[in-house]
Structure 1
């Protein structure tokens, strides 16, 4: 006979037992290994995987609860040659598992808000913290517009000199946003520039916008960069789509 606990779980799962949210599938189409990281917002419990290795051509997945909000990214150029785990870009504290630490900019981000009970999810690709590799996020299933958000361009290739981040050999491994590079309110949308009316596109945000119009190029780039989907879709995050 079904015990009371199991019965309650079945009837009131979303309220009592931590209902299933979405399956997030990570696909690496880059020609090199990446090390994805995950971060749950608002200091809530982290996902079962917060950092892992993903070789070229490989796929893996992680489940989220509902509601859930957080971000995903990929580290590049990671190794343990120095005796500790370090990455050329998007490091999260010199550790394979990020364990609640975010990506050190510049880093391309996939941001996701999953609503409970089949409500409206929000998701986007963001270059607000700069870019270290091409990336996309696409819902699987669901209802509504449910379009993919993608930044397929290699923004490192033509990155303005003043935004370039280079490794020890002089190779450009990431492209900083103007906020990351200069830390000025007009680029970071802070201080007197903390409203959409005052914080407008710049020559630097336009570099990102022209090459990846679906992705956030600066903090208030909402109109063309926020995507929505209803009815509990799963999501696929692709590196180098």
Structure 2
């Protein structure tokens, strides 16, 4: 049976704290199941239900009904608006794990469209796999599964010299070269675009 498309098209505006400009994020679901996209601003308060978010930092992901704050494993799409001299920064992150393929496309042709298109769930190591019945629905990172400083790049391992990519980080990077597999994939996974750009996030592209 062909997968249903356009189960969800949701737009919201993140209003910048500086300059009053805004960016519109359009979220589209091409997956065969209903998803509940979530947005988290890190500001300590619940975002407005109008869809207007007066914040510079926005994170969105696919959640099931019981997940409130991106409980791993969850593929994250992250933005910091007007971050550096009139630029937005954005990325896709599997640092805590992955549960869905996703594409992030700026509406500015001068900017990079980034994606995570590999089927991470298909070959997820058994000890990192999260199941729904017999189906793997998510793949944890070593950090999320084991919470060890050497996997999470924390404590004495908080530099590029002391924290090397773990087994899951290498696996995620192989499947999704543009996305973060661990904390220090900045050079290959962080992108910039001029402030005021709008963004389209597509799940199961």
Give TM class, smaller chain. 0.7 to 0.9
Aligned counterpart for 2:126 among listed residues 161, 165, 168:
161
Secondary structure of the residue that 2:97 maps to in structure 1?
coil
Evaluate the alpha carbon distance shift between residue 14 and residue 182 of structure 1 in structure 2; reply closer, same or farther with a 3 A threshold.
closer
The answer to whether structure 1 residue 41 and structure 2 residue 47 are counterparts is no
- 1:68 paired residue number: 56
Aligned counterpart for 1:147 among listed residues 89, 112, 118:
112
- 1:30 paired residue number: 31
Contact 1:23 1:64 in 2 (8 A): no
Secondary structure of the residue that 1:209 maps to in structure 2?
helix
TM-score, length of structure 1 as denominator length: 0.72
1:86-114 deviations in whole A, cap 9, x for unaligned? Answer: 3xxxx11xxxxxxxxx1111100000011
- 2:104 paired residue number: 137
Larger Rg: 1
Following TM superposition, the consecutive aligned residue runs of length 4 or more in structure 1 with deviations greater than 4 angstroms are 13-16
Residue 44 of structure 1: how far off its partner (Å): 5.6
- 1:193 paired residue number: 157
TM-score, length of structure 2 as denominator length: 0.84
Residue 137 of structure 1: how far off its partner (Å): 1.4
Report the structure, 1 or 2, having the larger strand content: 2
Q: Where in structure 2 are there 5+ consecutive unaligned residues? A: 1-14
The answer to whether structure 1 residue 106 and structure 2 residue 70 are counterparts is no
Contact 1:130 1:177 in 2 (8 A): yes
Equivalent pairs, count:
191
Residue 14 of structure 1: how far off its partner (Å): 7.7
